[in-house]
Structure 1
């Protein structure tokens, strides 16, 4: 079992992403009809299987998922690797929106247009998730010994 000081490296990543994601989820919980339709339309354009959901149902599920993920990141007893996998998957899903939405990237490059910057920043969530997964609970450069 690692000591607290060996695990401190992960808390700036977990707190930054966790607080932001919880806030985002809470703000979506009471989404009105128009906001829910917009969220649903955007997500289902990239992920067509989401068309099966009602926009309000989608907004509630997205909200609950974000609050759960943010809570996992902010809960000390949830292992870094587990929280990191959740963050990695969530960030990858958001990057799917970035890569598949027309006009978000400069032609022929992975780099964002001005309009794409808000989605491109989700690459940071992927990086943070990967760091948590790779570092596990023992931290960067750990030997893996318990």
Structure 2
């Protein structure tokens, strides 16, 4: 890991890790809300019970966040995992019209919180590009 990768990995990893730990304590209402939003964008998730879905999401977030924070994990791997994870979240944002202003990619009031996942996608892709450039050195 290069020194330049430390700030993005630290901040992004800590944010995602905290989000996952918080979801482990999700109540029924929060679990149903998260599950409903995800299942609305990805119908195949409807068959998973809401508490189980949120637990799986929490474990995924804890795993991604932890992976970003561990310094001996190569940046290309951390970038690939972050890109994959955030691609799913951006996909949910793009598949849910209520999260965007009409006929636009820009977030509505309801979509502002999830639109930040586009930044994580950009960070993940940036990490992959940086690692690719480094391999040419």
Q: Under a length normalisation based on structure 2, what TM-score does the superposition of the two structures give?
A: 0.92
* Partner deviation per Cα, 1:18-72 (whole Å, 9 max, x = no partner): 0000000000012122211111111111111111211111111110110000000
**CA deviation after TM superposition for structure 1 residue 143, in Å:** 5.9
User: After the TM superposition, which residues 8-87 of structure 1 pair with which residues of structure 2 at under 5 Å, given as runs?
Assistant: 8-87=3-82
- How has the CA–CA distance of structure 1 residues 143 and 90 changed in structure 2, closer, same or farther, with 3 Å as cutoff? closer
| More helix as a share of residues | 2
**Number of matched pairs:** 137
125, 130, 141: which one aligns with 2:125 = 130
Q: Distance in 2 between matches of 1:103 and 1:31?
A: 23
**Structure number with larger C-alpha Rg:** 1
Q: Distance in 2 between matches of 1:99 and 1:143?
A: 33
Q: Distance in 1 between matches of 2:129 and 2:54?
A: 31
Q: Under a length normalisation based on structure 1, what TM-score does the superposition of the two structures give?
A: 0.86
Q: Which runs of 4+ in 1 moved over 3 A?
A: none
